[in-house]
Amino acid sequence: MEGKFWICLGLTALIISMCNCRKGPTTVSIQKESFGQTTSGKQIDLYTLTNANGLKVRIINYGATLVSLEVPDRNGKLADVTLGYDSLEGYIKDASYLGTTVGRYANRIARGKFTIKGVDYQLATNNGENHLHGGKKGFNKRIWNAEKVKTVEGPGVKLSYLSKDGEEAYPGNLTCTVTYTLTNDNELKISYEAETDKATPINLSHHSYFNLAGQGNGDILGHKLMLNANKYTPVDEDLIPTGEIKNVKGTPLDFTQAELIGSRIDQVPGGYDNNFVLNSGGDSLALAARVYEPNSGRVMEIYTTEPGMQFYTGNFLEGIKGKSGKVYDKQYGFCLETQHFPDSPNKPNFPSTILNPGEKYTQTTIHKFYTR
């Protein structure tokens, strides 16, 4: 009996060894390579992060931009689930903020105006009469410094930028960092920090367009979405918040239970482009959204420390030439931008976005992936 036991044990070990060899181990890694040069000759670097499960994320230091994110479907097949471009030229010409870090102030500020401590400021108006995503040359068009980061959670890249006093007419020298970490729990963790020497509004966010069926593989209307938000901020015809906070119940903005994105989108003029008031209140890291794509089985959950989230259905995408020869049209991707509320500097009842000297701005958002 003892001999048979050791024979069985040896066969089991051999089978496990053969399976492991056939599958092959995945090496956690951070690779750096050139992504081209700007028109002024500045080199842009591409960082590829691979976690222990084979997930990959590619990031460039132009705009602190996420270029691609490969995650498996229920059969283990990897696909890139974010919209983007194959070359630097695409990002230089991009007007849709594909995968970028947006700031100094994500979303809109009415008429580009605000007042801090009795001083009036006038920003650029690059969205009709309003200021959007940091102005004519926001953080998405800036070259960031980058360095590799190795953590117990997984590989990462830390990007830093100094936004000088008066840049896009914002007050204060603002030093900020954005750190992307691809954890071995299949999470893309984005951490933000900033400090200033003069009071300034700040509202940083990430602007990836997701399609969990794979980038360029049709529209996103068949995705099922749950938002952990009972309320939203109504807007006027220019998409500027009125200052009210209303309940989503009884409206096509009610995603408190999972609904198909396309089930009521025709009831929203132009498609979804709305700020939701998260139930967590931004007091701690909490679940904000869950998205499920039935054909692939991919699920993405978003956790954030922010009080709000902008849900946008790519309403202005039209004939954009993306990666691998794919063309992006209307509603081929959705954004879930964790943020403070739009036009907060002009809405005293909204959570404040003013950062003062001696304070530190911090924000964490996590995109978690799995299948079912």
Q: What does the alpha-carbon distance between residue 97 and residue 141 come to, in Å, rounded to a whole number?
A: 9
At 283-341, the pLDDT tens digits run 899 999 999 999 999 999 999 999 999 999 999 999 999 999 999 999 999 999 999 99
The CATH number linked to 270 is: 2.70.98.10
Residue 23 belongs to some domain of the structure: no
At 85-104, the pLDDT tens digits run 999 999 999 999 999 999 99
At 119-149, the pLDDT tens digits run 999 999 999 999 999 999 999 999 999 999 9
Q: List, edge to edge, every strand of the sheet that includes 155-163.
A: 145-150, 155-163, 174-182, 187-196, 361-371, 298-304, 286-292, 224-227, 259-260
Residue 81 belongs to some domain of the structure: yes
At 189-248, the pLDDT tens digits run 999 999 999 999 999 999 999 999 999 999 999 999 999 999 999 999 999 999 999 999
Return the bridge partners of 301, or none: 290, 368
Residue 5 belongs to some domain of the structure: no
Report the catalytic residues: 207, 337
Whether the per-residue pLDDT at 9 is higher than 60: the answer is no
Residue 242 belongs to some domain of the structure: yes
Domain extent at residue 344 = 29-371
Residue 22 belongs to some domain of the structure: no
Residue 122 belongs to some domain of the structure: yes
Q: What does the alpha-carbon distance between residue 335 and residue 211 come to, in Å, rounded to a whole number?
A: 9
Instruction: Count the domains in the chain.
Output: 1
Residue 65 belongs to some domain of the structure: yes
Residue 15 belongs to some domain of the structure: no
Q: What is the pLDDT at residue 16?
A: 36
